[in-house]
Structure 1
Amino acid sequence: MADMIIATHHLPIFDNVKVKRFEFEPLSETAQAALARFMTLSPADLGPVSRHVFAYFQDRQDPDDALTIKTPEDVWAYVSPSAISVEPGDVHPDRWYVAVEANVPWEVEHGVHMAWENGTDIVRVGPVDGHISNVWAYDDDSLADVVY
């Protein structure tokens, strides 16, 4: 088995928060290109992601918890990215996915997992469960356009 590669990245999309990336092999040129595209995203690019993370919060929130998040834009104050990965496509092996794992107070056990296809297009928001798309998670091609 190859040695684990650990790299540190500052994510511009999350105000340059520092996270770790763990890999067992060096990234291919295509994977590096997806990561490079992701690194060009800014906090303004979280706009389309906000509603999905907010919906995840609403579905997972404990009714007895005092945590109140009123708008999709407010959800980011509670999202703490902790790791990034670059993974080959599950259904389309020619596509690469940049995935960010983050800690959130409403789902302490599973956190939140966000994946961007080819580093630019959000394709999945959900628990950290090893799936980079809902098609793969549920083995259902009809979920190709479902982010959360």
Structure 2
Amino acid sequence: MTTIVVSYFDGAEVELDEEPDPDAPAAAAALGAFLALTKADRLSDTRHVFAFYRDYYEEAGRPEWLEEEIGFPQSPADIWDHVTPGPVTVEKGRRDDENWYVVMQAECGWDAERGLMMVWRDGATLTKVGGYNGHLTNVNAYADRTLENVVYKARNPEYTTRLSRQPG
């Protein structure tokens, strides 16, 4: 494993599970794009992670233990205070998906069991947020093509988030 510095998380050092395949230049390009992301990119992605938190909080019945543990974030951006970045992998899309994905397994203060899985298509666009389930896209996770632009697939549809711009 190699340690990488992730500007998206204010220069946090995390483990890269393995170097991208040298015979797959698109994998290295995806990792490079991910490493070029900044705090500004993270802040623009806040709504997806905050939606995951809100959905979890509501589904769990607004538990007192969670309020005692992390309180209720004063603003959506405060959710990042409860996210600890973790290991990163670079993976090829499944089946007919030719994209490469950078996947981070992070810890979060509200879902200690599953944590937070964040997936960036081609390293540049956050396209999936939620508890860790091993799927690179919501289309794969739910076998549902209508979820192509869904970033966070909520239990309560009010919290489902989508890409602001279409892929392409």
Same fold (TM over 0.5): yes
Q: CA deviation at 1:14?
A: 0.5
Distance 2:99 2:119 in 1: 12
Higher share in helix: 2
Distance 2:75 2:129 in 1: 17
Residue 46 of structure 1 aligns to which amino acid in structure 2? R
| TM-score, with structure 1 as normaliser | 0.89
- From the superposition, tell whether residues 55 and 91 of structure 1 become closer, same or farther in structure 2 (CA, over 3 Å): farther
Tell me if the contact between 2:20 and 2:28 (Cα under 8 Å) persists in the aligned partners. no
Q: CA deviation at 1:132?
A: 1.1
Q: How does 1:1-148 map to 2 (within 5 A)?
A: 6-23=1-18, 26=21, 28-61=24-57, 62=60, 63=62, 64=64, 65-66=66-67, 67-148=71-152
- From the superposition, tell whether residues 43 and 21 of structure 1 become closer, same or farther in structure 2 (CA, over 3 Å): same
Secondary structure, aligned partner of 2:17: strand
Secondary structure, aligned partner of 1:147: strand
**Could you list the runs of 4 or more consecutive aligned residues of structure 1 that deviate by over 4 angstroms after TM superposition?**
none
Unaligned runs of 5+ in 2: 153-168
**Alpha-carbon deviations, 1:22-73, whole Å to 9, x = none?**
1397352110011001111100001332011001001112422222113221
Distance 2:36 2:16 in 1: 17
Q: Percent identity?
A: 35
**Alpha-carbon deviations, 1:6-29, whole Å to 9, x = none?**
121110110110111213973521
Residue 128 of structure 1 aligns to which amino acid in structure 2? Y
| TM-score, with structure 2 as normaliser | 0.79
Distance 1:79 1:91 in 2: 31
Distance 2:96 2:4 in 1: 26
Distance 2:4 2:20 in 1: 17
- From the superposition, tell whether residues 143 and 109 of structure 1 become closer, same or farther in structure 2 (CA, over 3 Å): same
Q: CA deviation at 1:100?
A: 1.3
